[in-house]
């Protein structure tokens, strides 16, 4: 006859085995795709997100950088279909899906000062309370939006006024409002997916493009469009999302782990970006020397670009109606708050 003690031990062993089995059943591998390389800003964010999830849960994150699963539009489709659990897609490509997300392309709306910008992204009611509902309508749980850096234009010839952009073919992300911005500045905007940009510059199909400087440096854009002009018109925003059915199906504990990881990665990435713009410009200067020209436009030179921007803001409201107007108004309130006004 088995003793009481041996019954107890068998019971405990059984319970441990069941817990282990339950644990391994709930430990999942989640797929996360983004639009850049592992060492670019989105990649640094994604690696921190992965590190946090894996340190605080049994789950694993499998990262898919640019090129491994297709273009930006492809990874968004895969996330909406639930093939991917997480995706980073910039509003520059989300214009058709969520027209209001184009607000990030109203020129001269976002501040240039890093601390003010970070304060805005952290506390914005538009970003944290209004945009999640718009993403949810598309089957997406918006986890975080963050800035990637000051956008500059790269061209073949110097640009000191909108007249210098006259009929210059500038590649933009596939976003109707970006098209309007470059039209307002006399250029011929050409929307293209990212994978086609280097080749199109090399063959002369386009003459320029715009992007944050870390990206101009890491993708060698300056080799094929060597004049870099910074007119202070925008900071590149990106957004990290989860498939909404997947997120809603998680336990409350796992939802919290995901949200905490997104917050921790935000803190990490805004710290990482301090000085990145200048460092990237220096790397370009070191690599290309006199083959590149870098022009930071003066306040006076920026004026005609700023004046044309009011037309773009009106076009944003025309494109997006009442809902876009509400987002824009709220963003302006949030920005005033961040600027301490």
Q: Contact positions toward ligand 6CS, by CB under 6 A?
A: 35-36, 72, 90, 148, 173, 194, 211-212, 215, 236
In angstroms, what is the minimal distance from the CB of 100 to ligand 6CS?
20
143 phi, psi to nearest 5 deg: -95, -40
In the bound state with ligand 6CS, the residue whose beta carbon lies nearer, of 75 and 242, is 75
In the bound state with ligand 6CS, the residue whose beta carbon lies nearer, of 119 and 148, is 148
Helix (H) or strand (E) holding 30: strand 29-33
Handedness of CA 73, 78, 84, 86 (dihedral sign): positive
In the bound state with ligand 6CS, the residue whose beta carbon lies nearer, of 49 and 246, is 49
In angstroms, what is the minimal distance from the CB of 193 to ligand 6CS?
7
In the bound state with ligand 6CS, the residue whose beta carbon lies nearer, of 189 and 212, is 212
In angstroms, what is the minimal distance from the CB of 188 to ligand 6CS?
17
Which DSSP symbol is given to 253?
A: H
Return the closest-CA partner of residue 52 out of 35, 37, 81, 32. Answer: 32
Return the closest-CA partner of residue 72 out of 49, 51, 96. Answer: 96
**76 token code pair:** 């968004």
In the bound state with ligand 6CS, the residue whose beta carbon lies nearer, of 59 and 144, is 144
State how far the Cα of 284 lies from the Cα of 222, in Å rounded to an integer: 8
CA distance to 42, 112, 191, 198, per residue, from 69 (Å): 15, 33, 21, 19
Return the closest-CA partner of residue 250 out of 105, 57, 64, 101. Answer: 57
CB burial of 310-326 (b: ≥16 within 10 Å; e: otherwise) equals eebbebbbeebeeebee
Helix (H) or strand (E) holding 121: helix 114-123
DSSP characters over 52-111? HHHHHSS-EEEEE-TTSS-SHHHHHHHHHTTSSSEEEE-GGGTTTT-GGGGGGGSTT-S-
């Amino acid at each position: 006859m088995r003793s009481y003690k041996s019954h107890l031990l068998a019971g405990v062993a059984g319970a441990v085995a069941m817990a282990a089995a339950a644990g391994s059943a709930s430990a999942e591998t989640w797929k996360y795709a983004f639009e850049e390389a592992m060492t670019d800003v989105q990649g640094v964010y994604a690696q921190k997100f992965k590190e946090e999830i894996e340190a605080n849960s049994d789950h694993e994150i499998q990262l898919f950088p640019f090129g491994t699963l297709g273009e930006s539009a492809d990874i968004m489709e895969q996330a909406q279909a639930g093939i991917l659990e997480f995706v980073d897609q910039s509003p520059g490509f989300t214009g058709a899906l969520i027209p209001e997300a184009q607000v990030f392309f109203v020129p001269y709306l976002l501040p240039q000062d890093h601390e003010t910008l970070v304060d805005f992204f952290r506390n914005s009611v538009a970003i944290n309370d209004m945009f999640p509902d718009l993403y949810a309508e598309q089957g997406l749980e918006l986890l975080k939006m963050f800035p990637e850096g000051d956008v500059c234009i790269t061209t073949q010839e110097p640009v000191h006024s909108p007249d210098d952009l006259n009929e210059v073919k500038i590649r933009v992300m596939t976003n109707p409002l970006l098209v309007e911005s470059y039209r307002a500045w006399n250029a011929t905007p050409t929307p293209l997916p990212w994978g086609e940009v280097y080749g199109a510059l090399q063959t002369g199909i386009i003459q320029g493009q715009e992007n944050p400087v870390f990206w101009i440096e890491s993708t060698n854009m300056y080799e094929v469009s060597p004049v870099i002009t910074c007119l202070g018109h925008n900071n590149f925003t990106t957004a990290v999302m989860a498939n909404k059915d997947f997120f809603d199906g998680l336990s409350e504990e796992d939802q919290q782990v995901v949200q905490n990881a997104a917050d921790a990665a935000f803190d990490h990435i805004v710290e990482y970006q301090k000085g990145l713009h200048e460092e990237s410009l220096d790397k370009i200067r070191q690599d290309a020397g006199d083959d590149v020209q870098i022009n930071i436009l003066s306040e006076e030179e920026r004026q005609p670009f700023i004046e044309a921007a009011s037309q773009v803001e009106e076009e944003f409201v025309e494109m997006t109606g009442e809902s876009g107007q509400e987002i824009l108004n709220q963003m302006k309130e949030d920005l005033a708050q961040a600027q301490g006004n």
